[in-house]
Amino acid sequence: MSIVISSFAWVPPFAQGYVKDLRPRWALNEAGLDYSVHILGDGEADSAAYRAWQPFGQVPAYRDDAVTLFESGAILLHIAGKSPALAPRDAQEAALMQAWMFSALNAIEPKVDNLILPGVFHAGEAWVDGFRGPAEALIDLRLKSLSGWLDGRDWLTGRFSVADIVMATVLRGLQEEPVLQRHPRVAAYLDRCLARPGFERALAAQLATFAANAPAA
Amino acid sequence: MSIVISSFAWVPPFAQGYVKDLRPRWALNEAGLDYSVHILGDGEADSAAYRAWQPFGQVPAYRDDAVTLFESGAILLHIAGKSPALAPRDAQEAALMQAWMFSALNAIEPKVDNLILPGVFHAGEAWVDGFRGPAEALIDLRLKSLSGWLDGRDWLTGRFSVADIVMATVLRGLQEEPVLQRHPRVAAYLDRCLARPGFERALAAQLATFAANAPAA
């Protein structure tokens, strides 16, 4: 089985460690599956060939002997099918795993992005300060619901799964934000996820790619 | 097979026809599967029992003889497994269908929400006008990528699938927005989706639920 994921050659320091190829790297580590990295060349992300693989010109795209694929959520569902280390076997639990993947990516990640990204990409614009309050209120509500679910649970389903990988990489964006600390059960869950060796190795691998391709100073 | 989805009893007029139980209603219509509706009673959405079914207190939640489930994306993937009318059979195409479901719900819907919802929920607040330009630029970029993918395609994959149901219900939020008309291939795709009888029946059914439960004038 030959597995390839795409990666940018380099991104600015604020994004290093947060690019979404982290998710398949982590999942493949948990599954004990080797992979290689297709590093995008200059202009390749906008090429017709790459757009046929990843229609938005983003990363990660994924390829193995059976399928080519994009979207980290879909890639992780696909990888989960390859390893009992990544998904519950029970049909009810497997369905809940899928539900939590969509929750992480639709109910939660956009609210994290709305809290974090304006200050990164629009610093100094007049609307940014006013938007922060409503954005924080929305993610606070979501974290409250998530905290309720996590009461008595170590993972989103009965065992660690790709849903936890997606959720943890989403919640990581809040590590410097007071709103996360107002939900200690969620913060503890995040710590539990990030303590896994598969995460550490994925993070190191992503950072190594960027270090190897850093622009000349 | 007994299928149940949850629905609010009533929502304000601006939301009628746009609540997300529209998605499983449409999918079940396409599949020719009957369903019944569990209408949430006063305060039920915040009850512990409902939160165990739908952790965010939202709709739709879903139940059949095999599983209980939440998140419209996960519900539609589950329903797709019940009917050849809702998913491609080829493994590559089925993987792409999953990719496009995540794209619709993660890459596109949050950008639609950021363009539309501030004017609904925060009308008159100082940041709303300033936020509109950046929000429109982001959804414009996404629609451009989607338009590229749709070149030469009637549906997101080789046949109509639940990915088209999710994407169409996402894009519908833009029907009054100039940015959609700047991408005529996407607008035509949306029209093609919404012309399906399964959509019309789903919309009528959702509106009928709200009409039957309208508060006294």
Tell me how far CA of residue B132 lies from CA of B19, B90, B116, in angstroms.
23, 41, 9
According to the model, what pLDDT value does residue A1 have?
Answer: 78
Residue B47 near chain A (CB below 8 Å): no
CA atoms in the 13 A half-sphere facing the CB of B97: 26
Residue B214 has pLDDT above 80, yes or no: yes
Backbone φ/ψ region at B104: left (φ over 0), alpha (ψ -120 to 50), beta? alpha
Q: Which residue among A55, A126, A128 sits closest to B148, beta carbon to beta carbon?
A: A55
Beta carbons of A95 and B74 less than 8 Å apart? yes
According to the model, what pLDDT value does residue B1 have?
Answer: 78
Which residues of chain A neighbour B98 with C-beta distances below 8 Å?
A: 69, 71, 73-74, 77-78
Nearest CA to B112 out of B83, B85, B151, B139 is that of: B139
According to the model, what pLDDT value does residue B216 have?
Answer: 84
Q: Which of residues 51-80 of B touch A (CB under 8 A)?
A: 51, 55-57, 66-75, 77-78
Beta carbons of B55 and A127 less than 8 Å apart? no
Gap from A185 CA to chain B (nearest CA, Å): 15
Beta carbons of B130 and A129 less than 8 Å apart? no
Beta carbons of B98 and A71 less than 8 Å apart? yes
Asked casually if ipTM beats, i.e. exceeds, 0.90, the reply is yes
Q: Which of residues 84-113 of A touch B (CB under 8 A)?
A: 91-92, 95-96, 98-103, 105-107, 109-110, 113
Which residues of chain B neighbour A57 with C-beta distances below 8 Å?
A: 145
Search chain B and give the residue with CA nearest A100. Answer: B71
Beta carbons of A92 and B134 less than 8 Å apart? no
According to the model, what pLDDT value does residue A188 have?
Answer: 98
Which residues of chain A neighbour B149 with C-beta distances below 8 Å?
A: 51, 55
CA distance A173 to A139: 12
Structural domains in chain B? 4-85+198-207 (3.40.30.10), 91-196 (1.20.1050.10)
What does the pLDDT look like over A41-91, one tens digit per residue?
Answer: 999 999 999 999 999 999 999 999 999 999 999 999 999 999 999 999 999
Stated pTM of the model: 0.97
What mean pLDDT is reported for chain B? Answer: 97
On the question of a cis peptide bond just before residue A197, with omega within 30 degrees of 0, the verdict is: no
Kindly state the average pLDDT of the residues A174-196. Answer: 98
Beta carbons of A55 and B103 less than 8 Å apart? yes
Residue B49 near chain A (CB below 8 Å): no
According to the model, what pLDDT value does residue B75 have?
Answer: 98
What does the pLDDT look like over A90-120, one tens digit per residue?
Answer: 999 999 999 999 999 999 999 999 999 999 9
